[in-house]
Chains A and B, each alone.
Chain A
Amino acid sequence: MNAYFDELKEIAASNQWSAIFPEITLGVLALALLVLEMVLPRERRNMIPRVAVLGQAVLLLAILLLYRDGGGFLGQETFAGMLYHDGPGQAMRLFFLVSSLLVCYLASVAFAGKKLPRVEFYHITLVVTAAMMLLAQSNHFVMFFVALETVTVGFYVLISFYRDQTISLEAGLKYLVLSALSSAVLLFGIALLYGVAGNPLLIGSSADAMNFGSLNAFLLNNPESNLAVAGMVLVLAGISFKIAAFPFQIWVPDVYQGAPMPVTAFLAVASKAAGFAILLRLVTGVFAPMEAVLVPLLTVLATLTILFGNIAALTQRNVKRLMGLSGIAHAGYLLVGVIAALHVPWAVGAVLFYLFAYLLASFAVFGVMAHLSGEDGTGDEREDYLELLRERPVLGGVLVIGLGSLAGIPPLAGFIGKLLIFVAAFQAELYWLLAVSLVGVVISIYYYFGWIKTAVFRNWEMPASAVGDEAAAPRAWPDVSPVSRWVLGSLAALTVLIGFFQGPLSTWLARM
């Protein structure tokens, strides 16, 4: 194996292909799935999901064991400045790979016993994952935009994956329209930046103004150019759509509710994280010279996002919409971390830590939701969680830990994430945002604990005679397979463990 990698490295010296070894592997795996579907006889096709999961697991191990240094490319630009590889990018690669693995697991739960095409789902998931990895490492607006559109187009299909459910199709259409709009805005912003930075009359202008490095050099010389400011604002608006920051969050509740559960999770975690990865790169790198505009802008954005997300989630009874709206609030806290990263370098690690904690907790919660949720939107109300802990202790326990971590309750990982962001915000003297975040966290306790309350607390049952005959039929509780026990159990265990022993994760991220 090592010899194989040495050989790869040698080739890399000439053409750099091994710099994107994980992305290529994912692409090849995705294509292989399609080929397998054509080649295999019908009754053997149920092995294709296993191939997808196995392939990703092997890739994950390979990255962890052999590719930790990014193939020796960390800190370098590759492909004529299209990509730039750094520690956070490498961390995000792992992040996306883990989320895609978990999405595949959720699909196995949510699609069980349903008549749906399977292979396409895994194929698109893999392609989208590869595109997110590239997005997080892009160093050029062309790369950025192409990767972003690959992600978005993939999601168009995934969101309306329940093809015969109107709610799913409607969600897909909403995402399509609003996402196309945001892409147009983003593109307009890029064009403005390219135009102004390519103007040879201005100091620091560049022929390759789409490159983040040259654009940064231009902005350093012209931090007050109005056109550049307008371009930056439009680019940020486009990204705000991805991370669902106020006022670009309109699509969230409907799309989250309509999409199949694995896709909702994918949107909530990976798509949001991809937005933050590129936002971190843009804010701390390219746009850093425009701090005078950037900080007030992002501060307003974060304030509104935190308050809107939390207040809107307050009265929500549908759990999918609740996850969407509370996810908006999480985007707000993460934005605070991004702003802090302008002045406090280690805040980048804090944002990444928060994202990893969010990944674990969200997938734990979505995993429980996938067990209870039906194809047509049944099983998604809070009332459907009554007595969950008593009937299915595993699901109930995982739900409590996941929601507790999202609410930021010690000793869970989510608390450490929030703590790191708050300390960073304090060091960056963002007192206003700190106060807003605190208000947000307190509000969020109400709806997260309200959900826990429904699932955990004992409820007095009406005596059977008082209830009508229809209601007397016992509810069908889902079976929890051993795989689910292991996956959900380890997500919850990791959430607790990272709450107590932050060492490995935080030192790893701090090194990044």
Chain B
Amino acid sequence: MAGFSSFILQLTVFLPIVLGLGLLFFGKGREALARPLAFAGFAFPAVAALGLWWGFSPDPGTGYAYLSNVPTGLEFIGITLQLGLNGISLPLFLLAGVAGFAAGSYALHAATDRWREYVSLLLIMHGGLMGVFASVDVFFFYFFHEVALIPTFIMIGIWGGRERHYAAMKMTIYLTLGALLSLVGLIALYVQSGADSFSMLSLRSALEGETLSTAAQNYTFALLLFGFGILVSLWPFHTWAALGYGAAPTSAAMLHAGVLKKFGLYGLIQVGAPLLPQGAENWMFLLALLALGNVVIIGFVTVAQKDLKQMIGLSSVMHMGYCFLGLACLSAVGVGGAVILMFAHGLTVSLLFLLGNCIYQRTDTFDMREMGGLARQAPVLAAFFVTTMLASIGLPGPGLANFWGELTVFIGLWQYREWMVVPAVFGVVISAIYGLRAVGNIFYGEPTEAFREASRARKILDIQRHERTPVLVLLILLILVGLWPRSLTDSINASVVPLYEQFDTPRAEATYPDNAAVNPAALPACCAPAASRSESGL
């Protein structure tokens, strides 16, 4: 049975990629066959992810379920394709499956030229996303990220909107820089740890006995932090994000902002912080400050946006700040909250991009000043949009998962630095300002003259079936987890607690091989946060 589930896990990664390549090379003129096959390629990972979630029971020794190894021939430098899921990767894997299905089924009905190429690139991206979160091997974790990233670049370039050439180039250069920094960090981690493979499990067990020296931890974690940070649009390395999302076609923006961007945070949570605890503690205060930059500064930038798509893109940059803050707490509470928030935010932002495009198709503009009164013609669309926007703000509303994530992050943050909660909560107010204002501008109020002209020219329809299916799938999952958060939090806890327990106790001197001989009073100043945290009652 275990073998079968592992096989299903492998299939979720490779089936979309194989179908995508097949469609690209052999799909010409076989429209009738291509559509159902592409649909199967999008649907299978989603269904399989739900099934694997249902049957998730990790092995108590490793913390992973569905482990399997596929040989690659690069074993001599420690690379094997090892797939599996633990409590941290499970929510994101589920998110990748469901968001991929939503983006894919929406793309299947999108009226674009070169439909076949578009869908096959999206399938390859979907497979890559599944691989990112299913990989236990750090190398393949990186590898699948790039598999998913390249189609994004091409999709922006061919099917993108305004300024797409510039946006695609800028995004590619930023993301390559980030990816390479993190790759070097991962190689550094592997070589220094002395582990016999790139697998997270063997890295963990190699570092369990003897941690790296403080200096090594410091620079390796810095490589990972800034490499991954650029990928997650950490302030001030975020400028590619709004531009790229603004130019990207809807499905690509949904998958990139919703799922792929979580790669960096996931890498820091799963690999970076637990394996380099000393380095993590030393860098965390800076990270927390930058993350507050994401929340407050980008928050104000978002408020100033007139363009709906730019606003959604920037709001996703802003919410990444909360996830970073959760990580910065370095406690099971904060990190667990970050994972839930990543999951919920992925669903919300995919929904927002999807609904944003639905609005665009009805108003022919992304400029919110030229919209108004759309709720009269499209009440259902309005209801969906309002619900999603409330979720995105983080209101405890109708049982939405974002609320639980933000709440837990705030609790963690309170234990870390009380004052940081103030700007963080202020961020919620900011999101409420731009979120509710967008709702008001688009759906209520008097329609502008231009919009009135347009709606006289053709009938504005309410949300259609091909739009409703992906919206409902995403929304139902969001509400389900919102009403019953334990379905995910139990397994998240089971994985996060063992990794982050180590931060709860003040470090013993034995873990400072460099400083062991030095007077304990002369310990580097960087240890101060750890000490003060332990006093504050954690």
Report which A residues bind B (CB closer than 8 A): 346, 400, 404, 409-411, 415-416, 419-420, 422-423, 426-427, 434, 438, 441-442, 445-446, 449-450, 453, 456-458, 501-507, 510
Partner of B73, one of A346, A423, A449, A501: A501
Chain B min CB distance to A297 (Å): 25
Chain B residue contacts of A506, Cβ below 8 A: 73-74, 76
Q: Besides the contacts A438-B180, A457-B164, A502-B74, what 16 more A-B pairs have beta carbons closer than 8 Å?
A: A411-B146, A422-B183, A422-B184, A423-B187, A426-B188, A441-B176, A442-B173, A442-B180, A449-B172, A453-B169, A456-B158, A457-B158, A501-B72, A501-B73, A503-B74, A506-B76
In the complex the two chains form, is A450's CB within 8 Å of B180's CB?
no
Partner-A contacts on B (CB < 8 A): 71-74, 76-77, 139, 142-143, 146-147, 150, 153-154, 157-159, 164-165, 168-169, 172-173, 176-177, 180-181, 183-184, 187-188, 191
- How long is the Cα–Cα vector from A505 to B146 in the complex, in angstroms? 22
A400 contact set on B, CB distance < 8 A: 154
**Contact between chains at A456 and B157 (CB < 8 Å):** yes
Residue ID in chain B nearest A349 by CB atoms: B76
Residues A502 and B73 in contact, CB atoms below 8 Å apart: yes
Contacts of A415 in B (CB 8 A): 146
Given contact pairs A438-B184, A510-B76, A457 touches B146 in the complex (Cβ within 8 A): no
In whole angstroms, how far apart are the Cα atoms of A510 and B150 in the complex?
30
Within the complex, which residue of B71, B72, B181, B191 is in contact with A423, where a contact is CB–CB below 8 Å? Answer: B191
Closest to B176 in A: A445
Q: Is the CB of A410 within 8 A of B188?
A: no
Cβ–Cβ < 8 Å partners of B168 in chain A: 449, 453, 457
Least CB distance, A95 to chain B, in whole angstroms: 19
In the bound complex, residues from chain A placing their C-beta under 8 Å from that of B142 are: 410
* Chain B residues, Cβ within 8 Å of A457: 157-158, 164-165, 168
The distance in angstroms between the C-alpha atoms of A489 and B173, with both chains bound, is 28
Contacts of B153 in A (CB 8 A): 449
Which chain B residue has the least Cβ–Cβ distance from A404?
A: B150
Give the CA-CA distance A365 to B147 in the complex, in Å.
21
Q: In the assembled complex, how far is the CB of residue B141 from the closest CB belonging to chain A, in whole angstroms?
A: 11
- Can you pick out 23 interface pairs between chain A and chain B where the beta carbons lie within 8 Å of each other? A410-B142, A411-B143, A420-B77, A422-B184, A423-B191, A426-B188, A426-B191, A434-B184, A438-B181, A442-B176, A442-B177, A445-B176, A450-B169, A453-B165, A453-B169, A456-B154, A456-B157, A457-B165, A458-B158, A503-B71, A503-B74, A504-B73, A506-B74
CA gap between A400 and B150 in the complex, in Å: 11
Using Cβ atoms and an 8 Å threshold, which residues of chain A touch B188? 426
* Cβ–Cβ contact B191 & A445, under 8 A: no
A426 & B165 in contact (Cβ 8 Å cutoff): no
Shortest beta-carbon distance from A389 to chain B in Å: 8
For the complex, give the distance between the alpha carbons of A422 and B223 in Å.
15
Distance A503 CA – B74 CA, assembled complex (angstroms): 6
Nearest-Cβ distance from residue A206 to partner chain B, whole angstroms: 37
Say how far A352's CB is from chain B's closest CB, in angstroms: 14
| Contact between A422 and B187, CB atoms less than 8 A apart | yes
Residue of A nearest to B178 (CB): A442
- Report the bound CA distance from A458 to B164 in whole Å: 10
Asked if residues A409 and B146 are in contact (CB atoms below 8 Å), the reply is yes
B164 to A, closest residue via Cβ: A457
Q: Hey, which chain B residues are within 8 Å of A446, CB to CB?
A: 169, 173
Instruction: Report the nearest B residue to A435, measured CB to CB.
Output: B184
Are B150 and A409 in touch, CB under 8 angstroms? yes
Q: In the assembled complex, which residues on chain B have CB atoms less than 8 Å from the CB atom of A426? A: 184, 187-188, 191
Across the two chains, which residue of chain B brings its CB closest to A410? Answer: B146
A350 to B359, CA, bound (A): 52
Docked Cα-Cα span, A346 to B78, in Å, equals 13
Closest approach, in angstroms, between the C-beta of B164 and any C-beta of chain A?
7
Q: Closest A residue to B124 by CB, please name it.
A: A411
Give the nearest-CB partner of A429 in chain B. B191
The minimal Cβ–Cβ distance linking A262 to chain B, given in whole angstroms, is 27
Kindly provide the distance from the CB of B92 to the nearest chain A CB, expressed in whole angstroms: 20
Which residues from B are CB-within-8-Å of A423? 77, 187, 191
Q: Which residues of the partner chain A approach B154 to less than 8 Å between Cβ atoms? A: 400, 456
- Distance of A420 Cα from B187 Cα, bound (Å): 11
Residues of B within 8 A of A501 (CB): 72-73
Chain A residue at minimal CB-CB distance from B173:
A445
For A420, list chain B residues within 8 Å (CB).
77
When distances are taken between beta carbons in the complex, the residues of chain B under 8 Å from A442 are 173, 176-177, 180
Complexed CA–CA distance, A442 and B158 (Å)? 23
Chain B residues lying within 8 Å of A419, measured Cβ to Cβ, are 139, 183
If A404-B150, A411-B146, A457-B157 touch, whether A445 touches B172 (CB-CB below 8 Å) is yes
Nearest-neighbour CB distance to chain B for A377, whole angstroms, equals 27
| Cβ distance B396 to chain A, nearest Cβ, rounded Å | 42
Measured between alpha carbons, how far is A426 from B71 in the docked complex, in Å? 24
> What chain B residues lie within 8 Å of A438 (beta carbons)?
180-181, 184
| Chain A, Cβ-Cβ closest to B77 | A423
Question: Hey, which chain A residues are within 8 Å of B172, CB to CB?
Answer: 445, 449
B126 to chain A minimum Cβ distance, whole angstroms, is 15
Question: Nearest Cβ in chain B — how far from A207, in angstroms?
Answer: 42
CB closest chain-B residue, reference A438: B180
Query: Chain B nearest CB: distance from A393 CB in Å?
Result: 9
Q: Provide the residues of chain A in CB contact with B169, threshold 8 Å.
A: 446, 449-450, 453
Query: Bound state CA distance, A420 and B188, in angstroms?
Result: 13
Q: Closest 7 interchain pairs by CB?
A: A503-B73, A410-B146, A457-B157, A445-B176, A442-B177, A426-B191, A410-B143
Interface centre among A438, A457, A502 (most CB of B within 10 A): A457
Chain A residues near B73 (CB-CB < 8 A): 501-507
A341 to chain B, nearest CB (A): 14
Instruction: Give Cα distance in the complex from A316 to B139, angstroms.
Output: 34
Contact A502 B72 (CB under 8 A): yes
A-side contacts of B147, CB under 8 Å: 410-411
Contacts of B146 in A (CB 8 A): 409-411, 415
CA–CA, A402 and B480, complex, Å: 46
Contacts of A453 in B (CB 8 A): 157, 165, 168-169
Q: Chain B residues near A445: list those with CB within 8 A.
A: 172-173, 176
Question: Which residues of A are found within 8 Å of B77, using beta-carbon distances?
Answer: 346, 420, 423
CB nearest neighbor in B for A510 = B76
Closest chain-A Cβ to B216's Cβ sits at a distance in Å of: 12
Q: Give the distance in Å from the alpha carbon of A507 to the alpha carbon of B143 in the complex.
A: 20
B70 nearest in chain A by CB position? A501
Q: Which residues of A contact B74 (CB under 8 A)?
A: 416, 502-503, 506
Which residues of B have CB within 8 Å of A416? 74
Cβ–Cβ < 8 Å partners of A510 in chain B = 76
Rounded to whole angstroms, the CA-CA distance of A400 and B154 in the bound complex is: 10
Alpha-carbon gap, A446 to B158, bound state (A): 18
Nearest chain B CB to A407's CB is how many angstroms away?
8
Contact partners of B173 in chain A: CB under 8 A: 442, 445-446, 449
- Roughly how many angstroms separate A400 CA and B158 CA in the complex, as a whole number? 13
A56 CB to closest chain B CB, in angstroms? 28
Question: Which A residues are in CB contact (< 8 Å) with B183?
Answer: 419, 422
Closest B residue by C-beta to A459: B165
The answer for the CA separation of A446 and B165 in the assembled complex, in Å, is: 12
Tell me the complex Cα distance, A441–B184, Å.
Answer: 13
Collect the chain A residues with CB atoms within 8 Å of residue B72's CB: 501-503
User: Are B158 and A441 closer than 8 Å at their CB atoms?
Assistant: no
Report how far A453 CA is from B139 CA in the complex, Å.
28
Closest approach, in angstroms, between the C-beta of A32 and any C-beta of chain B?
Answer: 39
**What A residues does B143 contact at CB under 8 A?**
410-411
* Complex CA–CA separation, A445 to B158 (angstroms): 18
Task: Tell me the minimal C-beta distance from B363 to chain A in angstroms.
Answer: 23
Which residues on the B side are within 8 Å of A449 (C-beta)?
153, 168-169, 172-173
Q: How far is the CA of A423 from the CA of B77 in the complex (A)?
A: 8
Determine the distance from Cα of A423 to Cα of B75 in the docked complex, in whole angstroms: 13
A457 to B155, CA, bound (A): 9
Q: Chain A's nearest CB lies how many Å from the CB of B254? A: 21
- Shortest Cβ distance from B21 into chain A, in angstroms? 8
What CA separation (Å) do A372 and B74 show in the bound complex?
Answer: 38
A456 to B183, CA, bound (A): 28
- The chain A residue sitting closest to B28, CB to CB, is A393
